[in-house]
Amino acid sequence: MWDVFSKPFVQMEQVQFGYRRSKVILRRVSADLYQEHCTAIVGANGSGKTTLGKLLAGILKPWSGTVRLEGYSTTALRLGQIGQMIGYVFQEPDRQLFAPTVREELLFVERLQQRLNPTVEGKADQLLAEFGLGHVQDSFPHSLSRGEKQRLALAAVLMREPGFLILDEPTTGLDLERRQQLTAYVQRLKAAGVGLVIISHDDHFIGDNADRILTMAGGEITDDSHS
């Protein structure tokens, strides 16, 4: 019924992409994604899940076809605009951590834009507490454990308050307790109306969170099922 009442947040039409001219990775992928859903993307290693996620987040641009966010093509949007619409947490969180301390990682964008104020700092401190990072707030991000880095990357993305979030293999390296905490957080984001894509091999986590599952094989979506 969702498609009758709401517009898709993400629209992919006939998306083709490859890293090298000689090799197509995604072949004509089309799908609409809704903010009301937590959509899982599953499939074998190398099937193109991460590549698709990066196209959704505007990190990669299609060879042909279009990816639209709230109606705007990612080729026409600036990265800063995209970052406010859609957040992306990398499969390897190291790739998106670059500040000298954990707390600075959350304040980086605002400081850069000279918009640091008590409200912004309060939001950062709240996220640090929520993600169990308060005790390492002055540490160098790259010295954190893998699970801590993943939580930090997620907290940093949430500072922008995006309407849609892509989590690439978010449970890798998380212990049971942290996985349950992540599930609780995902449920809260859903309740707050944030759309989600979870790229994962973790069937339990998907079962607990996803209400739609897209299956990829060989660079194509081969199945689309709702639960």
Ligand X SMILES: Nc1ncnc2c1ncn2[C@@H]1O[C@H](COP(=O)(O)OP(=O)(O)OP(=O)(O)O)[C@@H](O)[C@H]1O
Task: By CB under 6 A, name the one of 4, 21, 22, 45 that touches ligand X.
Answer: 45
User: Per the structure block, which two tokens stand in for 19?
Assistant: 């890293």
Specify the stretch interacting with ligand X by CB under 6 A; choose among 48-56, 113-121, 131-139, 186-194.
48-56
User: Per the structure block, which two tokens stand in for 38?
Assistant: 């937590």
The whole-angstrom separation of Cα 54 and Cα 77 is 15
Task: By CB under 6 A, name the one of 12, 37, 48, 197 that touches ligand X.
Answer: 48
Asked if 51 is part of the footprint of Mg ion (rule: CB under 5 A), the reply reads: no
SS (H, E, C) 77-122: CCHHHHHHHEEEECCCHHHHCCCCCHHHHHHHHHHHCCCCCHHHHH
Which position has the token pair 């987040």? 57
Task: By CB under 5 A, name the one of 50, 171, 200, 209 that touches Mg ion.
Answer: 50
Specify the stretch interacting with Mg ion by CB under 5 A; choose among 19-27, 48-56, 98-106, 214-222.
48-56
Shortest Cβ distance from residue 47 to Mg ion (Å)?
9
Binding mask 137-176 for ligand X (x = CB under 6 A): ----------------------------------------
Shortest Cβ distance from residue 52 to ligand X (Å)?
7
The whole-angstrom separation of Cα 96 and Cα 28 is 29
User: Per the structure block, which two tokens stand in for 100?
Assistant: 């000298």
Residue 61: which of 16, 96, 117 has the closest Cα? 16
Task: By CB under 6 A, name the one of 10, 12, 15, 25 that touches ligand X.
Answer: 25
Asked if 93 is part of the footprint of ligand X (rule: CB under 6 A), the reply reads: no
Which positions ≥6 away from 18 have C-beta within 8 Å? 24, 25, 26, 63
Strand order in the sheet with 212-217: 86-89, 164-168, 195-199, 38-43, 212-217, 220-226
Specify the stretch interacting with ligand X by CB under 6 A; choose among 44-52, 70-78, 141-149, 178-186.
44-52
Which residues would be at the binding site for Mg ion (CB under 5 A)? 49-50
Which residues would be at the binding site for ligand X (CB under 6 A)? 19, 25, 43, 45-51, 91
